Structure 1
């Protein structure tokens, strides 16, 4: 097959979708040497995260310049023209906004339903009605819709029933670099961030559905003797529109909450590895990649029992009600005080994370492609 993959998302503006596209494309090329992959790349996009040289060296990958912007009307004509030029048998778009006039069968990936379920997380960016319209059009035009969890599959079918029969769940994966780090590497990163105490770690955005205010309030509920010698470390991209977390820290007079902001990708594995535990109170996730990364690094995990997270962690993590501050606090206390349980969760988490590989994701995605080829 001649398979087109929209690699324009391999750029800094799309960190999560870019990572998904990059690793999926690399592994597809490896598991399907008999197929040819045409990876559309925007040479003008800023890309400091991903090395494209493996694609240059791969004998069955062609890098195709595609300068039409990902949110432009121009992509509606430019990408179909490239598909015709390269005689594509199939085209895979890793996002819900697709070129609707593709001359070949199309696959699209839907990562979550946040604009519908938590519209306050994307104010001024994607209105729920516009998102729903775009998703319905994509479902209409695509032969298959790949979702990254069974939870997202249920969410999609609830609002777009016409996707039934087209939607397939293929789990995301954890990158190879996420593994327990050496004591020296952990110490170096802790020193650089000034993390002298033991800490519970959170990584993610500060958007409302991430539920960080309740996390801060739950931390404040812990008795002083439990928090003594420990810190709550919050890291991740900070959207300046959401100041509620800082306001909560100030209101509660907390000196043991560290707000790191965005951290370097290469520091993530050491930060996970050095944590006494990883805490993730999100109200909604399409998948929940930080939880999987933390488990792969050996961090004991406690997370919300909601949306996709129980599906991802199975029995390898503590779970709690994210709407209940006391329940969150109890999970944090357990992580801080129960060393034996931490060891059990660390072992179980590493075993669970090992099941989520990009090779497996590529093989399952390739099976989706083959099902379309067979049906033609």
Structure 2
């Protein structure tokens, strides 16, 4: 069987969850008797830049050069669409797996087309979005024309079926996996106060501001712990104002950026990882935290119980009191910390990229 992955995610992501997912699929499927190849004539992605050349039909272009091109998205997109269609036609695949949502089919011939749906956030929370973000016609078009749809959790499949009126038989669930290949450098965080860790984007459904508000209600937490927000960009003026208004000391809540190695070190040294999100399609950070022996305190919304199992202290993300109660009874209990670490070690055994690739291959084989 021959599988082609299109250019879409690799032409816009240097790094990122979606491009990492397809990088891992290509990497693992290529080790089987099947053939997988990425068709991205011009790409900026660092993951696939490290794959063997025979697995990537295209070339890496440093993003700093592409950024200099006027109307770069339109021009690069046009080049990639034209060249990849021709190259995929020459490859003659059995399966074309589109890496994101587009109005136009990657490959015109009647080969099986697969799309992966990562979440239904924009449909469920459209009232948070500015007008130009609403609609998502490309997503609907891609889903409706696909021969089969892979969802990354049962919860995402349920939302997809309900919101887009998709037949269940047209869908499958394949869980993602996590990466913990980074080596921890414990020396990098010497002389820091105990801290609670938050990772990733902070706006909108991620629920970061309510998390800060809940923590600020506890004198003991305020006295004993710092808050580290890893990634997600520097704090906005609004966030800095809120941090000050809530009574946090200068530097007590800080934003940190860095590579996977630094993130691994923060996971390994945090008292706990906090995941207050209102909705996730899958939710990789809790699994990453578990892989570095970091106890998880998580929202009980959407797919979190499905993915995390019993390896977290849960709370209702809409309740500041419940959120705070979960944090306090965990971080001040060594026995609960040790229990969550132990449960996390067992939970992450359920997920691997090899398993993800194997189950994805089974989906491909079932539709050709």
Tell me if the contact between 1:106 and 1:144 (Cα under 8 Å) persists in the aligned partners. yes
Equivalent in the alignment of 2:202: 206
What does residue 36 of structure 1 align with?
35
Tell me, in whole angstroms, the C-alpha distance in 2 between the residues paired with 1:152 and 1:335.
Answer: 29
Mark the CA change 1:42 to 1:350 in structure 2 (over 3 Å): closer, same or farther. Answer: farther
1:85 aligns with 2:83: no
Alignment of 1:79-228 (within 5 A): 79-97=84-102, 99-100=104-105, 102=107, 103=109, 104-119=111-126, 123=130, 126-127=133-134, 129=135, 131=136, 133-177=137-181, 181=184, 185-186=185-186, 188-191=187-190, 196-223=192-219, 225-228=220-223
| Cα distance in 2 for residues equivalent to 1:124 and 1:20 | 30
Q: Measured at CA, do residues 353 and 243 of structure 1 come closer, stay the same or move farther in structure 2, by a change above 3 Å?
A: farther
The alignment's C-alpha RMSD in Å is: 2.5
1:50 aligns with 2:51: no
Instruction: Give the superposition deviation at 1:20.
Output: 1.2
Q: Tell me the distance in 2 between the aligned counterparts of 1:94 and 1:46.
A: 15
CA distance in 2, matches of 1:204, 1:53: 24
Hey, what's the Cα distance between the residues in 2 that align with 1:226 and 1:22?
41
Give me the whole-angstrom Cα distance separating, in 2, the residues matched to 1:263 and 1:316.
27
**Residue-pair matches, total:** 352
Which piece of structure 1 moves more, 62-71 or 283-292? 62-71
Q: Report the equivalent of 2:244.
A: 250
Whether contact under 8 Å (1:200, 1:233) holds in the other structure is yes
Structure 1 pair 197–239 and aligned structure 2 pair: CA distance change class (3 A): closer
What is the CA–CA distance in structure 2 between the aligned matches of 1:158 and 1:363, rounded to whole Å? 28
Q: 1:92–1:106: 8 Å Cα contact kept in structure 2?
A: yes
Please report how far the alpha carbon of residue 155 of structure 1 lies from its aligned counterpart in structure 2 after TM superposition.
Answer: 1.0
SS where residue 9 of structure 1 aligns?
coil
What is aligned with 1:19? 20
Q: Secondary structure at the match of 1:228?
A: helix
Please give the alpha-carbon distance, in whole angstroms, between the structure 2 residues aligned to 1:107 and 1:239. Answer: 37
Structure-2 change in CA distance of 1:289 and 1:196 (3 Å): same
CA shift in 2, pair 1:3/1:352, >3 Å: same
- Normalised by the size of structure 2, how large is the TM-score? 0.87
Residue in 1 aligned with 2:68? none
TM-score of the aligned structures, taking structure 1 as reference length: 0.85
Q: Deviations over 1:131-173 (max 9, x none)?
A: 1x32332222211111111111111111111343211111110
Which ranges of structure 1 fall in alignment gaps of 5 or more residues? none
